[in-house]
Chain A
Amino acid sequence: MKHLLTAAMPRDEAVALLDLAEDMHQIQDREVKKLPALRGRTVVNLFFEDSTRTRSSFEIAGKWLSADVINVSGKGSSVSKGESLRDTGLTIAAMGVDGVVVRSGSSGAPTQLADWIGRPVVNAGDGTHEHPTQALLDAFALRRRIHGGAVRGRGLDGVRIAIVGDIAHSRVARSNALLLPALGAEVTVVGPPSLLPVAAADGTRLGVRAETSLDRVIAERPDALMLLRVQLERQAGRVAPSAGEYITGWSLTDERLARLGDAHIMHPGPMNRGLELSSRAADSDASTILEQVTAGVSVRMAVLYSLLASDHPSAVDGGTR
């Protein structure tokens, strides 16, 4: 693996990354939260969009692996003075950094950057395109919930997951719709018709089954319900339901929670309580929301290790050596 630009990857590679993240996860229980694997490596978090949890999660992941981590935000940097993405990337590369984690509002920016700078690039979310580490951490947290202690080497075979919300504009939904089926899960995307992506000839959207009624999906008793954030800052000029209409149709209300059975409740955060889900749903035992945050650090450690530890990186094969 040279870059992590997309969540589209073969099952073996995804499972090996999740297993590696399991080993990284053990550091959470330790007094000394530090591994020397990336000592002497420098990672730049290049964030052109606001982000607290993803940026700090990458920062902690890098630091726990002993890398030097520098945060560069779009605001207040030369980017706001009109510098192009290419020049910013080349400047950072010229400082001798070993890897770049990039978050951008422009779909495809990380892929462009990877072509330009010749260093490992991690996509930390690009526009409405992809957010691969989010999909990996979702898979990690769900795999732990489903398989308990015996997760290694396993996927999410037969696990039925519904992703609810603004599917068309969600990079989280797209990355999950790529990754989770590769792990054997059955994914359904659910949302208002105007917020579902264009259907393919076979009726699928993002390559998976699409539904417009959350109530119908809940009646099917899914194993997990993933609620996407209603992105008020992205709604301008779009045909979207009002908050009231959204709650009526697609929010995990207390009433729907009662019909959901024991499905795991996931949310990539930050959540709007009362809009995507009720407080009772968010705080219930079924909620994996904080586990997802913890998983984020472990998964990002695995990604940074895979990309940066070796001068001759290869996919972690899960083999013995």
Chain B
Amino acid sequence: MTSARTVLGPDEIARALTRIAHEILEANHGPDGLVLLGIPTRGAYLAQRLADRLAEITGDDFSGRVGALDVTMHRDDLRATPTRASHPTRIPAAGIDDRVVVLVDDVLYSGRTIRAALDALADLGRPRAVRLAVLVDRGHRELPIRADSVGKNLPSARSEHVSILLDEVDGRDAVTIEGGAA
């Protein structure tokens, strides 16, 4: 039994999200047209936190500009894994057509979840641009996908397990890593 090592604590996660919020605004030259869509479960909470920060920074109301995008039905590993439960998709009432959609997820790994998200988005409308913000990039990409904003680059072995804990679901904020070559 290996013990989990904490890589990011609550303060570091908070700072990373604040920085990502600024990066999103910088790349977009302001808040116009931004829509944040988190990938459930934890990406959806992160999207909400980013929206709160964007609202703080800009003074704009972001409540109608954040949602959740479930990608379960678009995954390419449905056959190989046990039946996956789905999650609700919540798209802001104004839609995503001609918006700059920022996809938000907790961990970027193979890139397959984001590939599924891009497919799911295409069925919902045609954004002007799609960006990607993740809390942790642990490498090992299997598709040509990269993030525009990364909270922490975390080089890891495939045998290691990276966990994102969020207060909303787990009761505390932390990024931990465990296992790997003993």
Q: A320 contacts the other chain (Cβ, under 8 Å)? A: yes
Interface pair A310/B78, CB less than 8 Å apart: yes
Q: B27 contacts the other chain (Cβ, under 8 Å)? A: no
Interface pair B81/A20, CB less than 8 Å apart: no
Kindly specify which of A32-40, A190-198, A221-229 makes contact with the partner chain.
A32-40
Bound state CA distance, A316 and B88, in angstroms?
Answer: 15
Q: B83 contacts the other chain (Cβ, under 8 Å)? A: yes
Which chain A residue has the least Cβ–Cβ distance from B77? Answer: A310
In the complex with contacts A36-B119, A37-B78, A316-B83 CB distance below 8 A:
yes
Bound state CA distance, A19 and B88, in angstroms?
Answer: 9
Kindly specify which of A22-30, A155-163, A176-184 makes contact with the partner chain.
A22-30
Q: A152 contacts the other chain (Cβ, under 8 Å)? A: yes
Bound state CA distance, A22 and B78, in angstroms?
Answer: 19
A266-313: which residues lie under 8 A (CB-CB) from chain B?
A: 305-306, 309-313
Q: A136 contacts the other chain (Cβ, under 8 Å)? A: no
Interface pair A319/B85, CB less than 8 Å apart: yes
In the complex with contacts A35-B74, A36-B119, A152-B80 CB distance below 8 A:
no
- Minimum distance in angstroms from A42 CB to a CB of chain B: 14
Q: A70 contacts the other chain (Cβ, under 8 Å)? A: no
Q: B89 contacts the other chain (Cβ, under 8 Å)? A: yes
In the complex with contacts A23-B70, A311-B79, A317-B89 CB distance below 8 A:
no
Which chain A residue has the least Cβ–Cβ distance from B75? Answer: A37
- Minimum distance in angstroms from B71 CB to a CB of chain A: 11
Q: How many residues of A contact B (CB 8 A)?
A: 32
Which chain A residue has the least Cβ–Cβ distance from B87? Answer: A23
Interface pair B81/A26, CB less than 8 Å apart: no
Bound state CA distance, A20 and B79, in angstroms?
Answer: 17
In the complex with contacts A32-B123, A35-B73, A35-B74, A26-B88 CB distance below 8 A:
yes
In the complex with contacts A20-B86, A30-B123, A36-B119, A320-B80 CB distance below 8 A:
no
- Minimum distance in angstroms from B34 CB to a CB of chain A: 22
Interface pair B123/A34, CB less than 8 Å apart: yes
Q: B41 contacts the other chain (Cβ, under 8 Å)? A: yes
Interface pair A23/B89, CB less than 8 Å apart: yes
In the complex with contacts A30-B124, A35-B73, A37-B73, A22-B88 CB distance below 8 A:
yes
Q: B84 contacts the other chain (Cβ, under 8 Å)? A: yes
Bound state CA distance, A311 and B83, in angstroms?
Answer: 8
A–B Cβ pairs within 8 angstroms, 13 of them: A20-B86, A23-B70, A23-B88, A31-B125, A32-B123, A32-B124, A34-B123, A35-B74, A37-B73, A306-B83, A313-B82, A319-B85, A320-B85
Chain A residues within 8 Å of B, Cβ to Cβ: 1, 16, 19-20, 22-24, 26, 30-32, 34-37, 65, 152, 305-306, 309-321
Closest 8 CB pairs of A and B: A35-B73, A23-B86, A37-B73, A314-B82, A32-B123, A310-B83, A309-B78, A316-B85
